[in-house]
Amino acid sequence: MRLHLAFNIQATPVQDIKDRVLALAKEHPLLAILDVGVVDTKGRKTVQQRGLLNLEGEKYDTALRQRMMAHATVWVWGHRAISYINPARTQVLTDWNPSLEDFIPLVRHNPFIPPGHESIFLRGLHAGLHGNLLVAAHLLVPQLENSIRYLLTMQGVPVTKLESDLTEPNKGAGPLLSLPETVAIFGEDDLFDIRGVFYDASGYNLRHRIAHGMITEGECASEQGLNAWWMMLRCLGHKFATMSPPGSASVEGDGAAGANEKKPGARARKKAPPAKPVSKRTSVKKRK
């Protein structure tokens, strides 16, 4: 039920967004030529989106990605939250009214959740489903970067960098999301959503705004909070969630292990000797 909510709604089709942005650039060339400044609620410019004219290579890719993020922010993510995510959330809540305990199978032994963080995800997912997106956003959004780092570590991918003074800090979200292993795990569409909703200044940039206390209660309860909660739910049920984390067994494995495990102080049962095969030939007594 919860995974249907996560996967029946599709991630942003990146190629479609790219094609639409380029089509708009051809239809309205003046908008594509001019630089665009993005301002916050206080009127301060937070990001400068370069025009696409006369740009090449990495500069062009960066400018195009910013335009794609801005387009998705205005035309895609809000529509998805209002038309699909929230109606599906309310329908699940009306039909099932899941309790906190109902989410336990989703977070138990999940490779995306580092040990000791299960309760944070549990409470965040439950709060979001019941409409408390303020609590859900503040519990779940800060966990994403560390969960990606944990997932990569379990696959043997280096997530730290060695400095000249021999310190070894963690890589930030930008380098982590650029790793080919991360792209292989999430795919281009989901990774585009993760960048835009949580980290990119041309998108919602929720991780930065929540970490620095810049987000309002109303913004948490809007399409921004809905997208963040739904994407964390989607991450927990992603294709890598079928893997068992090292040192833990699956639910079936736990049951089998428990059945074969000896109880303390219990005597080992002796195995019954194998039955002797019955001879097909009938023995004949010798006459005296």
For residue 13, which of 87, 75, 82 has the smallest C-alpha distance? 75
pLDDT in tens, 54-76: 899 999 999 999 999 999 999 99
Q: What is the pTM of this model?
A: 0.81
Lowest-pLDDT range of 88-97, 135-144, 162-171, 268-277: 268-277
Report which secondary-structure segment, H or E, holds 46.
strand 45-49
Hunting for tokens 């999940």 — which residue is that?
110
For residue 25, which of 16, 34, 37 has the smallest C-alpha distance? 34
For residue 31, the model assigns a pLDDT of 84
Is the Cβ–Cβ distance between 201 and 46 less than 8 Å? yes
For residue 238, the model assigns a pLDDT of 75
Is the Cβ–Cβ distance between 68 and 14 less than 8 Å? yes
Instruction: Tell me the domain boundaries of the chain.
Output: 2-242
Angle in degrees, 0-180, between the axes of helices 86-96 and 223-236, rounded to the nearest 10? 70
Cα-to-chain-centroid distance, residue 39: 28
Whole-number Cα distances in Å, 77 to 231, 282, 285: 11, 84, 93
Summarize the confidence of residues 77-88 as an average pLDDT. Answer: 95
For residue 32, which of 18, 47, 45, 21 has the smallest C-alpha distance? 21
Say what percent of the chain tops pLDDT 70: 81
